[in-house]
Amino acid sequence: MTEIPEHLLKRAKEAKERAAAASGDAAPAAAVESTPEQAAAASKIPQHLLDRAKAARSQAAGTAVEAAVPVTAAAASGGAIATAAPNAPTGPGGHTQRLLTVVKSGSIQDVKSAPVDKVHVWPHLLVAEFVAALACTAFTLIFSIFVNAPLLELADFNATPNPSKAPWYFLGLQELLTMFHPMVAGVTLPGFALILLILAPFLDKNPSNKPEKRKFAISIMTVHLMFWTVLVMIGSFFRGPGFNFVFPWEAGLFFEL
C-alpha cells in the first residue's frame, strides 16, 4: 500500500476539525472521519479522481458478492469452507485515495542538444590536407622542371659579399639586430611574440568564424604580419652595402633570392 505523505494527513485532519467546528457537535465530525467522499472533498481532491475511486470501490464490492455466492452454496450442502472476500486497498481511516506524483518535465522530455558546426579530423580534414599537399608538391615539381633556380657562383671564403644578408625569412630578425641589443632583438621580442600567439586561443574563446566577431584574433594576427612584413621589406629593398639604409631608386637594388 502506498504510504500517504504526512502533509496530506495533516491537511485532512485540519479539514475535519474545521468541519466539526462548523457543525457544532461531534456526530458530523465522526461522519467526516468515516466518509471517504467528505474527506476527499475537504482535502480538495479532483473530481475525476473521486469518480475513479468510487468505481473501484463498486467493482470491489461486486467481486465480494460473487465470491460469497459459492461459499453460501457450499455451506448449504454441508461443506465447511471458509473464504474471505478480497479487501479493497485502503489508507488511514479506511479511505481509498490515489496520489499523483509530481514529475518534472525535464526528466521525461527527450531534450536534444543544439547542432554544432563540427568537422571530423578523419577522414574529412586529413583528406583535404593530403590533397592540398599533393597539389603543392606537383606544382613545385612542374615549376622546377621549366624554371632554373637562381643560384649564384661558388662561394669564395676570401671575399665576403657586401651587403651580407640572411635569407628573406630571417631578414626581419636581422633588421631588429640593427635597431636593438642582441638580447632584446634575438630573445625578448621574438619570445614575447611567440608567447602571445600561444596564449591567443586561451584569451579569445569565441567559436565564431565570422571576421566581424573575431576582432581580437584578427587584430593580433594583423599586427604580427604587418610588423614582420615591414621588417622583411626594409631588410630586402632598403639595405645596401654595409647593411646601411639606402633608397633603391638612388643606390640600386641589393636583393637576391
Which residue's entry shows cell 472521519?
33
| 179-203 residue pLDDT tens | 889 899 889 988 988 898 888 888 8
The C-alpha cell of 111 is what? 531534450
The C-alpha cell of 220 is what? 593580433
Would you say residue 32 has pLDDT above 90? Answer: no
Whole-Å CA distances, 91 to 36, 88, 99: 10, 10, 11
| 116-152 residue pLDDT tens | 667 677 888 889 999 999 999 999 999 989 887 777 7
pTM summary value:
0.41
Would you say residue 80 has pLDDT above 60? Answer: no
Task: Tell me what pLDDT residue 134 has.
Answer: 97
Sign of the torsion angle spanned by Cα atoms 182, 183, 186, 189: negative
What integer best gives the mean pLDDT of the chain?
A: 75
Task: Tell me what pLDDT residue 102 has.
Answer: 58
d(CA 239, CA 93): 105
- Across 79-94, average pLDDT: 52
Would you say residue 167 has pLDDT above 90? Answer: no
Higher pLDDT, 76 or 192: 192
